[in-house]
Amino acid sequence: MSTYTPTYTPMIQQYLKIKADYKDCYLFFRMGDFYEMFFDDAISASRELEITLTSRDGGSKDKIPMCGIPYHSAANYIRNLVEKGYKVAICEQVEDPKTAKGVVKREVVQLITPGTVMEGTMLDEKENNYLASISGYEDGSFIISYNDLSTGENSIATIQSGWTAVLSELFNRPVKEIVISSSLLEEHQLDLKERLQVTLSYHDETEIANNFEHLLSNLKKENEINSFGRLFNYIQKTQKRSLDHLKPAQLIELNKYMSLDMYSKRNLELTETIMRKGKQGSLLWVIDQTVTAMGSRMLKKWLERPLLSERLIDQRFNLVDGFLEQFFERETIRDSLRSIYDLERLSGRVAFGNVNARDLNQLKLSLSKIPDIKKQLKDFASERVQELSEGVNPLDDLFDLLDNSLIEDAPITIKEGGLIKDGFNSQLDDYRYASRNGKKWIAELEKKEKQETNIRSLKIGYNRVFGYYIEVTKANLHLLPEGKYERKQTLTNAERYITPELKEKESLILEAEEKSIDLEYQLFIDLREQVKTYIPQLQALADKISEIDVLQGFATVSELNRYNRPKFNDDREVLIRQGRHPVIEKVMKNDSFVPNDVEMPEDRNILLITGPNMSGKSTYMRQLALTSIMAQIGCFVPCESAVLPIFDQIFTRIGAADDLVSGQSTFMVEMLEANHAITNATENSLILLDEIGRGTSTYDGMALAQAIIEYLHENVQAKTLFSTHYHELTSLEKTLNQLKNIHVRAEEYEGSVVFLHQIQDGAADKSYGIHVAKLAELPLPLIDRASKILEQFENNQTKKQVNLDKKDEEDQGQLSFFVNQEKGSKKELSKFENKLAQEIRDINIMEMTPMEAMNELYRLQKKLKDKLGGS
C-alpha cells in the first residue's frame, strides 16, 4: 500500500526549510506587501489574531491553510502575539524580485520574543523588560543572568540557597522570557512555566567571541562567564544586528540587599496588587512621584532591592532632605525633568539601527535641558544636592552635532528626504539648489508658454511614468506653433507634449532630487553612527538623571503625605509613633485612617495580636513591613517618628489564597511559608504570620500555632508579629518573656460591633465573629441561630478546656474523646477510652485496603455506640 507524499511548489519548499529552523515561532513569511503564514502557523495565528483563515494551492493534492497580514501594520499583530508569550520570526525578501532567478531569496532577519522586544509600542515605558538565563552547577548553586535589550543593562546574581530561592529571585523582577540549558531538570522547567508564567527558550552555547570580551570585565569566575555567555549568545542569535549599546555585566551582591521572597513581595503588594495584578493599590503606586520613564524604572529596581548599608541609606536620606527643604527649586527641576525623553531606550535604538530623525530630535531636546538641570541643582542650599550636578554631563558636542544637522520637524521615514538642514553638507546643498531652481524655471516656462501661445489653460505637469510635460486641451491645439512641440501622450480631452528644453531641465531636476534623497539617507546613517559613539556617555547621563528623579520623587511624596525621616539603631529596637499604612491611607483619601504605635524594645521579639476580623490586624502588620522597606530604599516613612533596625529579610504569611497551580491547599501553603520563614530567618529579620493554623482542625491549629511561637521565641528570635483567633494562646505571655499581647479595639453598640482600629495592650476579650457576619448581611434567621448555638456552647458546663501551657504538657495526658458521660462511671469510661485508644493505635492502616479500613471503622463505631448508646 503506497502513501501519498505531497510535492510542494518551490516557494512552499522554501517556507518549510526556513520554518524547520524556527519550530517554536510564528514565521512571518514576506510575500510582496504581506507577511503570510501557512499550515499550523496559519491555523493558530488566525485564532490568536482573529484574522481570516484561507487556503492556497501549494503543489499538493490538498490546499494549504494560509493567513496573512499587511507588512505596514505588522507591529500591532506582532505585539499581540508577543504579549501572549509567543515568538515571531521575521522572514524578509533579501533580493529584488525583479532580478531574482526563480524563487526570491528570503532569510529570517530578526526574532522577536517576549524578552527581546525593542519597539517602543511593545514596551511599558515605566518597567524594564528582562530576558534572563539560568545555569545550574554541581555544587547546587545557580547563576541567573539578566539583560534588558531595550536599555543595554546586564547583570548577574549567584543563588546558593536552592531552587526556591531561584524562583523568588526571578519573581522579584519583571522577567518575560528565560533562556535555559536543554538539560535543566523537567520539574524546574515546569515551575518556570507554571509558577512564573514566562516563555522558555533553549540555548547551550556559552562561549563569547573576543570582540565582546569587554562585557565580561566585571566577571572573574568561569561559571559567571559561562552563564552570561548563554544569555548573550541567545541575544546574538535572535537579533542579528549591532549590540553596541550593551553594558558590561554587573554583579548583583545579594548579601547587600534585603531579601524579599516571592511570598512577601506578593503578600505586601509592593509593585502590583494580588487581585488585579495592576500597579494601582500597590506601594509603588503611592510612592512613585518620578516624572521620567527612566526614573520610574530605577525606583522599581530600588523597591525590589532595599539596602542593608546604613551609610548608603543615609546618603539617600540626606539628598531627600535637601530636595524637601526647597519646594520652589524642586518644582523647577521637576519641570525640567519632564522634558527629558527616555535616554536609555533611545541609546538602545541608536545601536540597534532602528532610530529615526524624530528620535534623534527627542534626544537633542533632552540634551538641551541638561544645562538647566545642572544649574538648578546648584541653586539648592544642600551641598549634597549640589554635588549631584558634578556627575551631570551635558554632552555639548553631541547636542551641537544634532542641532546643526537635523531639521526639527523631520518625518518618521528616513528614506524620503526632508531630514538634513541646509548648510550641513555642501553636496546636498548643490542638489537642493538645482532642484529648487529647476522647479522655479519650470514655473517661469509655463508662464512664458501661456503668453506666447495665448492659451490660458496651458499647464506644465509631472508624473512618474512620463516625467514633465506640457498639457494643452484639444480645443486649443490650433494655437500651437508648428515644429516646436513633440507629442508625448494623448488623452480624451487633451494632448501632452515635451520640448527639448523641457527634457533637459527635467533630467537635471530629477537627478538632483534622486541624488538628494540618497545623499540625505547616507548622511543620516553616518550621523547615527556618530551618535553611537556617545552611547556610554548617554547611558551614564541616563543613570544620573534617573537617580535625581527618584530622589526628588521621594521628597515630593514625603511632603504630600506627611512622611518623616526614620532613624536606625543597632539594638534591634522598633519604635514607631502614629504609624500609618501608606496605601490604605491614600485610598481612604479622607484622613480617617487611624494611626497606631509599634513598640518592640530590644528584649521584646513577639507581638501576639488578637481582635476580630476586619478590625485591622493585617493592616497593622503590613504597615510595619512597608515602613521598613520604604526606609531601606531611602524614602521617608508614614509616621510621626520611627526608630528601626535594618532588617536583613522580611517573611510574610498574610492571607494568601490556595496555590492551585502547584496543587497545594491553603493549609499546605501556610505550612510551607511558615517553614520558609522559620528556617531562613535570623534575629535581624522581620516575620509576619497571620492566623497560622486556621487551615486545619481547632486543636491541631492551636497546637501548631503555639509550637511555632515557642520555636520563634527560643530559636530564631526575629522580630515577629503573630495574629491569631486562638485566644488560648494569649496565656503564653506568662511563660514567654519576649512575647507581649496586644489587641485591636472593638466595642459593641446597640447590638452591633464598632471597629475602632486602635492597638492596645493586652488580649482581646471576645471575637465578635457573629457581629462581623451581621455586618456582611448574612440572613437574619442564620444570625439568630448562630447566636443561640454560641450561647449553648458558652453555657455548656461539660465541655473540656484544653490547657496548652508547655509546662503542663506532660501532665495533661490523652485528651478525652468523649464528652457525654451520662452512661457509666468516669472510671469505667476512662478504662474504655484507654482500651479503644490502644486498639486504634495498633491498627496498621497503611497495609489495609479501603474496604478493610471501612469495615474496621464500622466495627469501632459500633463498639462505641454499644458503650455510650444512641444511634
Q: Is 615 annotated as a binding residue?
A: yes
Count of Cβ atoms closer than 10 Å to residue 320 Cβ: 27
Evaluate the CA torsion angle 139, 141, 147, 153 in order and state its sign. negative
Which of these, 581, 568, 565, lies nearest to 643 by C-alpha position?
Answer: 568
d(CA 827, CA 811): 18
Determine if residue 655 is labeled as part of a ligand binding site.
no
The torsion region of residue 613 among left (phi > 0), alpha (psi -120 to 50) and beta comes to beta
Q: Which of 386, 389, 297, 388 is nearest to 345 (CA)?
A: 297
Q: End-to-end CA distance of the chain, in Å? A: 73
Give helix 343-352 / helix 500-532 axis angle, nearest 10°: 120
CB 561 within 8 A of CB 579: no
Q: What is the amino acid identity at position 108?
A: V
Taking CA atoms, 211 is separated from 222, 233, 243, 488, 535, in Å, by 18, 13, 11, 59, 17
Do you know the residue count of the chain? 871
* Pairing of the two strands 596-600 and 574-579: antiparallel
What are the DSSP calls for 245-261, one per residue? TPPPPEEE-GGGB-EE-
For residue 614, say whether it is annotated as part of any ligand binding site.
Answer: yes
> DSSP letter string over 86-119?
--EEEEEE-S-TTT-SSSPPEEEEEEE-TTS---
Q: What is the DSSP code string of 613-641?
A: TTSSHHHHHHHHHHHHHHHHHT--BSSSE
Q: How many CB atoms lie within 10 A of CB 53?
A: 14
- CB-based contacts of 209: which residues, under 8 Å, 6+ apart? none
Sequence-distant (6+) residues with CB within 8 A of 715 are none
DSSP, collapsed to helix, strand or coil, labels residue 735 as coil
701 labeled binding residue: no
Give the other-Cβ count within 10 Å of 757's Cβ: 20
SS3 853: helix
* 8 Å CB contact between 205 and 233: yes
Contacts of 694 (CB under 8 A, 6+ apart): 670, 701, 725
The annotation status of 612 as a binding-site residue, yes or no, is yes
Residues 744 and 611: their CA atoms lie apart, in Å, by 5
CA atoms lying within 13 Å on the CB side of residue 186: 0
Q: Where are the alpha helices (DSSP H) in 634-733?
A: 666-680, 698-711
CA distance 850 to 475: 108
Identify whether the C-beta of residue 27 lies closer than 8 Å to the C-beta of residue 15.
yes
CA distances, 694 to each of 268, 280, 441, 699, 722 (Å): 20, 30, 92, 10, 13
Binding residue ranges for ATP:
611-618
Binding residue ranges:
611-618
